[in-house]
Amino acid sequence: MIAGIHHVTFISGDLTRSRAFYEGLLGLQADPKRPLMSFDGIWYEVATGQQIHLMALPDPEAGLQRPAHGGRDRHVALTVSDFDGLVARLQQAGIAYTLSQSGRRALFCRDPDQNALEFIALL
């Protein structure tokens, strides 16, 4: 039976741009323990045993129209310890986001490759 989520993978058309978002804006650090693969990419340890994997590959959905609200698109939901700080960083960087329509302290934004991310405040 399923015991948890090990990692989520996103396609990145430009790893330098993606790293600026995931490392510079979100504060993640590349995991140097991950092995090299047959294509370029980067791994981030989000929490113990939970990772985000960016794969440097051409976007097979280039030009696809995505919903304005990331909650109506496939996405990963991540908890954050400093929700207000994240909001301030997104605003400072000019990253568009929408608040959760459920009324929870949560927001949705997109990374540079239009992958939808949900951030939920820890209670």
Owning domain of residue 53: 7-59+68-121
Within a domain: 100: yes
88 or 2, which is more confident? 88
**Between β-strands 75-80 and 116-121, what pairing exists: parallel, antiparallel or unpaired?**
parallel
Q: How many domains does the chain have?
A: 1
Within a domain: 1: no
pLDDT bin (cut points 50, 70, 90) of residue 61 is: confident
**pTM of this structure:** 0.91
DSSP 3-57: ----EEEEEES-HHHHHIIIIIIT---B-TTSPP-SS-EEEEEEETTEEEEEEE-
pLDDT bin (cut points 50, 70, 90) of residue 109 is: very high
